[in-house]
Structure 1
Amino acid sequence: MPKSILQQQLKKSAPFDSLPQETYLNLLRTHNMIAAAPSQLLKQHGLSSAQYNVLRILEAADAPGLPCLEIVSRMVTRVPDITRLIDRLKDAGLVSRTRSQTDRRVIRIKLTKKGYALIEELSEPLVDIHQQNLGHMTKTELVELNRLLVKAREAAEATAAAK
């Protein structure tokens, strides 16, 4: 049996233990390659991908700011310490905190003008990076890839929810 492309790239002489293992490693390698350029761009602006994700969530929020738990529920990747992440964004002047007048226990996080400006500045370069990384694929291929990724993720989400 000929070696798979990933097997060749990793210079792995033995076959993978299973097709799911090879698929997982392919996903991991692909993520690392595709995430490098956006991560580098964000790093130049003092942001991590999780921090940028928070900014985009706040930008899209209908409400005047969101509580931390709502932000966490909308994140692409889970972070262990949302409070510290918000602290860093606040220290950078990108978000503000406001205590709710109706329920003093609730603190809403809101994007500042500086936060909106940074999102605006990063928007086009990030679109260009995504186009460079995935623009070679047809619309049909991208739709199918998205469908398969959701299908793969469903099992992991169900397992996580059961714990």
Structure 2
Amino acid sequence: MLNLFIAGAHVRRAIEQVCRSYDLQFSHYNVLRILRGAHPEGYARCDIIDRMLDPSPDVTRLMDKLEDLDCVERRRSQADRRVTLHFITEAGLDLLQRMDPDIQAVQDSFAASVSDRDLAHLSRICEGLYSNMPHPDTEE
């Protein structure tokens, strides 16, 4: 497990360095990536938290920063006025598009250090780990 943590931290630091070069934190990038996947429908706050790599109860603060950057827009749901939906804006999509080559370079660097066969095997191992372990937020 220690090797898994070390390898994950190493790759994450490389992605965080890319994020810093765009004046973002990793969590901001993660939220934008999630909202790009939901574009154009958007997600409610709870749906974003469920999809985050590092779930944070302070998504509102993250959204405030992304809204200040004109990357996210919030609107009340028409179906349920109690729910606020979050949407990625064109500026947010443009930012991710500018970041994509730098993120891809980190992925390419990772892939270059491991054979395709080992990458596929690593992927299967990781999927086995997280699909068979109880989720920390649920009771056993």
Same fold (TM over 0.5): yes
What do the CA deviations read for 1:23-82 (whole angstroms, capped 9, x no partner)? x22112112222222111101212122211111111111552211111112222222321
1:65 paired with 2:54, answer: no
Shift in alpha-carbon separation, 1:72–1:91, aligned structure 2, 3 A: same
Kept in 1, the 8 Å contact 2:44–2:83? The answer is yes
Shift in alpha-carbon separation, 1:39–1:134, aligned structure 2, 3 A: same
1:75 paired with 2:52, answer: yes
What do the CA deviations read for 1:111-157 (whole angstroms, capped 9, x no partner)? 11110110000011111111112323222211110111122223443
The percent identity for this pair of structures is: 29
Measured in 2, the distance between the counterparts of 1:143 and 1:137 equals: 10
- Could you tell me which amino acid in structure 2 is paired with residue 97 of structure 1? R
1:113 paired with 2:90, answer: yes
Equivalent residue in structure 2 for 1:88, among 65, 85, 90: 65
Shift in alpha-carbon separation, 1:159–1:98, aligned structure 2, 3 A: closer
Structure 2 unaligned segments of length 5 or more: list them. Answer: none
Equivalent residue in structure 1 for 2:6, among 16, 29, 41: 29
Following TM superposition, the consecutive aligned residue runs of length 4 or more in structure 1 with deviations greater than 6 angstroms are: none
Kept in 1, the 8 Å contact 2:45–2:84? The answer is yes
Mark the structure with the bigger radius of gyration: 1
- Could you tell me which amino acid in structure 2 is paired with residue 132 of structure 1? S
Kept in 1, the 8 Å contact 2:15–2:103? The answer is yes
Kept in 1, the 8 Å contact 2:39–2:87? The answer is no
Higher mean alpha-carbon deviation, 129-138 vs 104-113, is at 129-138
- Could you tell me which amino acid in structure 1 is paired with residue 102 of structure 2? P
Partner of 1:40: 17
Measured in 1, the distance between the counterparts of 2:92 and 2:55 equals: 21
Structure 1 unaligned segments of length 5 or more: list them. Answer: 1-23
Higher relative contact order (CA 8 A, sep 6+): 2
Equivalent residue in structure 2 for 1:102, among 63, 67, 79: 79
Secondary structure of 1:142's partner?
helix
Q: Normalising by the residue count of structure 2, what TM-score does the alignment of the two structures yield?
A: 0.89
Aligned-residue CA RMSD (Å): 1.8
Shift in alpha-carbon separation, 1:90–1:161, aligned structure 2, 3 A: same
Higher mean alpha-carbon deviation, 90-99 vs 69-78, is at 69-78
